[in-house]
Structure 1
């Protein structure tokens, strides 16, 4: 057998093994799901974005197990929350836990989703990151800064730039300001809208970027890497639209199992998991 044929055969074998692994994984997952149901348990699927909240949901599961609730949580990760909301609206997910009030309200207004918040989780800030600079004072005219392109996080990111002194908004109390609401740009930076999940990968091609904390954690970074951190105050009413929430479909908002999950989330152990996981960058907003 020639070298090229051996190489081709090896590649084909790898593909076959990969496909088998996916199939077996699906069979095992379905088998576990059926076993839980057959034993009288309840499986609740929760849509999340990225994997940064995994340890938090493990803590929630531990609380449910301690209570012998019979509830098993299965998280399903999405790259973009838009698809998670779509999946939930279509009945493919039971709950979601990735978005804040402002994003949910925007989705409901634009797409008519029958979704509602059934519990609050934490406030997570947007910060300014850079691979090029060490301080916000280093930014200069012509530098490109990437910010999220969805309306609510665009507004939050602009408020961060306003707080950092790089731009000045006409009204920094407006819920969702846009680039048209920029009154002054003393730093001369160029602001470009991008997909939130891709922003970290744009550095260092961009001078800076602002994105959600879960993408920072997933990238192996820390909020301490930020060149500017926006102040976090969970008691500030202006933060209300940006409080993260657990969401159910309207017709399931009083589901008893979902209520137990929210109660398990609102415990001291989960609050500690949030603080430890996010190193204080995310602030639990629930009482326990």
Structure 2
């Protein structure tokens, strides 16, 4: 009985100690947060899609720290850009950095968002990948190729297929072509629109897929694995709609804190990180 009582007492003591540790940790976390706020640090909630750009924004944070800007970037990660824009509009985010002009403009048109671009970042390649083939010449009639199903990336993906010679568009300068704009399909491929984040997982079953660079890197792959990559030039006006941007609510477009963040982004160390992540900087530094 004595042994049983001692064991019970030990278990009770362990439970109490664990509870104390949890309470102390919570108090410490609250203290750190309150201390950072009281010291004048400004927390900016940044909306991202996936984790691929965190290295870039870590470099931005380092620049802000070097400048003693007293600004803390707090990442909020989403699986898709649509809820990220909703969060920005609702005030749950301060800025976002995941979308290009074409996607942003379509969102504004469809939903009436009051958003303003406060800075440009980079061009991200949109390439054709395949686990099955080594050349675009290997595609056969009936092969399924997945492309993003949102309007802007669908149009851009069709331009990639046109550039690769798998299809021919009636006019490849159209901003957002649809499948109705396909003039011919000499390869005989079957184009299947899918949610952009899911396309990487479809590659084992499909003949190919056109995937955003951030989803490729999030999946542990490299843009260098692309079966076909169209030549991307930052200064080429045809790529202007696909420049990624930092976005704020219009009533906050002149926020001085946000300007400091954009200025920190437009620096050489950040440009170096952008290039390491297989993107093309479009800003001067």
Q: Fold match, TM over 0.5?
A: yes
Q: How does 1:97-108 map to 2 (within 5 A)?
A: 97-108=97-108
Aligned counterpart, 2:20: none
Please give the per-residue CA displacement for 1:215-253, whole angstroms capped at 9, x wherever unaligned.
000000011111000111000011111000000000000
CA distance, structure 1, for counterparts of residue 239 and residue 129 of structure 2: 21
What does residue range 1-288 of structure 1 map to in structure 2 within 5 Å?
32-278=32-278, 282-288=279-285
Cα gap change, 1:148/1:40 in structure 2, threshold over 3 Å: closer, same or farther? same
Larger radius of gyration: 2
Change (3 A) 1:120 1:28: farther
**Structure 1: how far apart are the matches of 2:130 and 2:157?**
14
Distance 1:172 1:30 in 2: 55
Q: What is the Cα deviation at residue 32 of structure 1?
A: 4.4
| Contact 1:33/1:43 (<8 A) preserved | no
Unpaired runs of 5+ in structure 1? Answer: 1-22
Distance 2:45 2:198 in 1: 26
TM-superposition CA deviations, 1:10-55 (whole Å, max 9, x none) = xxxxxxxxxxxxx999987765443321211100010000000111
TM-score by length of 1: 0.89
The answer to which of 146-155 and 203-212 deviates more is: 203-212
Which stretch has the larger CA shift, 91-100 or 202-211? 202-211
**Cα distance in structure 2, aligned partners of 1:85 and 1:68:** 30
In the TM superposition, what is the alpha-carbon distance from 1:147 to its structure 2 partner? 0.2
* Change in CA separation of 1:37 and 1:237 when aligned onto 2, cut-off 3 Å: same
2:3 equivalent in structure 1: none
- Is the Cα contact below 8 Å between 1:166 and 1:189 reproduced in 2? yes
C-alpha root-mean-square deviation of aligned residues, in Å?
Answer: 1.8
Within 1, Cα distance between the matches of 2:258 and 2:71?
9
What is the aligned length? 264
Q: Is the 8 A contact 1:95 1:246 kept in 2?
A: yes
Give per-residue Cα distances to partners, 1:55-78, cap 9 Å, x unaligned: 100100010001100001011110
Measured at CA, do residues 237 and 28 of structure 1 come closer, stay the same or move farther in structure 2, by a change above 3 Å?
A: farther
